[in-house]
Amino acid sequence: MVENSELRKAGLKVTLPRVKILQMLDSTEQRHMSAEDVYKALMEAGEDVGLATVYRVLTQFEAAGLVVRHNFDGGHAVFELADGGHHDHMVNVDSGEVIEFMDAEIERRQKEIVAEHGFELVDHNLVLYVRKKK
């Protein structure tokens, strides 16, 4: 469970909207949520937090390293809590479902390819766009 200390460590003042949004991101089964998804979930939970506030807080969380922003489907941003563990993503182009995966062989090969070209890997994002086989 994410705690208020996370906000303090990130240099953010503990405010009710920040706490509510952080708790929502931490407690939902849906790991990748748009600002609109967060807003709707807060409204369904009876929380009075405006959409503009949700956008502002998510941007603050991203700058503080608490969440990671992804633009999977042509600019539609989704956010996930930054848990420190690396993983890659598959996006189902028909349903929009985001599937997380980690493959040691892919990670190893990426490092090898980078080294073969005389570089060191600093960071990367791998997104596979997929569709169920028919």
Kindly report, residue by residue over 12-45, the tens digit of the pLDDT.
Answer: 788 888 889 998 898 888 889 999 999 999 999 9
Q: Among residues 73, 78, 126, 130, which one has the least CA distance to residue 103?
A: 126
Q: Check residue 105 and give its pLDDT.
A: 96
Indicate if the pLDDT at residue 75 is higher than 80: no
Q: What is the mean pLDDT of the chain?
A: 89
Instruction: Look up residue 73 and give its two tokens.
Output: 């489907």
Indicate if the pLDDT at residue 113 is higher than 80: yes
